Structure 1
Amino acid sequence: MRQQRFIELGEGYSDIYELCELITTNADRLERTFLFKAATKDGKPSISLAASFSPAGEGGFYPIYICREGIPSKEGNVSKRQLVFEEAAASVGSKPVPVELKHSSEFPETKLFFQYVTGVLRLNHLLPPLD
């Protein structure tokens, strides 16, 4: 049985570089990259970067690595962290899929937020269904 789960990295530069390293060193397993856009309750937009990978071996574990909401977003202005991520994705032939989401602060628990994101991705056929 396939198990899909988010693995949360941090929000800083080193975390983005770690995500980029996962993308480039596991290019053969990379399924898709994502650019999640959300706005806080006070209207401040932020971006999350994520990448999903196919299972390694026969384990059936389908990881989705995410750097959650650590990048402030300004109209017409792309941050250095977003550029680094997009360049890493492009280097292995992936273009991040933009997805509009609710901000995680609208959920009482992070686990509920990740369930919501999983549902949105499945409804849009961006994650495979569970076996």
Structure 2
Amino acid sequence: MILHQRFIELGEGYGDVYELCELIRTNRDRLHGTFILSSSTPAGHAISLAATFNPVSTNHFMPIYICREGIIQQGDVKSKRRILFEEAAASANSTPATIELKHSSEFEERELFYHYVIGILRLNHLLPPLR
């Protein structure tokens, strides 16, 4: 039973991506899914990296850790941070789902953006529904 899903924003830099990768490796038994979220910008694609984990014991909270839009990708060349994330996901037997989204700047508040993303993930059956 999941009663609450919420984004926990890390940061946009290398250290934040390393932290996300370490969360994936050390919590591999709880890992529910990994995501590469892409948004079009004039400079290229803004990439967000995210991982969601199953609730612990009797807790009904499903965290979604995210490094939001910190990677700008032009063309098909993957950044080192994205490669590190994909390797961490693979080490936990997860293949990141890639999803194209609206950029967070299109929303008045960051919380509205996160509600939008959760809706997209649920519609694609990448997150379980709330019960």
Report the CA distance between 1:65 and its aligned residue: 0.3
**1:57 Cα deviation after fit:** 1.1
1:99 corresponds to? 99
Q: Please report the RMSD computed on the Cα atoms of aligned residues, expressed in angstroms.
A: 1.0
Which residue does 2:73 correspond to in 1?
Answer: 73
Distance 2:93 2:48 in 1: 20
Deviations 1:57-100 (A, max 9, x none): 10111000000000001111000000000000001111100001
- Name structure 2 gaps, 5 residues minimum: none
Q: Which residue of 2 aligns with 1:121?
A: 121
Helix, strand or coil at the partner of 1:28: coil
Offset of residue 44 of structure 1: 3.0
Q: Could you tell me how far apart the structure 2 residues matched to 1:45 and 1:59 are? A: 36
The residue number in structure 2 matching 1:9 is: 10
What SS is found at the alignment partner of 1:122? helix
TM-score, with length taken from structure 2: 0.96
Give TM-score scaled by structure 1 length: 0.96
- Three-state SS of the structure 1 residue aligned to 2:18 is helix
Q: Which runs of 5+ in 1 are unaligned?
A: none
* Structure 2 SS opposite 1:68: strand
The equivalent of 1:28 in structure 2 is 29
| 1:5 aligned partner, one-letter code | R
Q: Secondary structure at the match of 2:5?
A: strand
1:112 alignment counterpart: 112
User: Aligned residue pairs: how many?
Assistant: 130
Q: Is the 8 A contact 2:43 2:72 kept in 1?
A: no
Q: Percent identity?
A: 61
Displaced runs of 4 or more, over 2 A: none
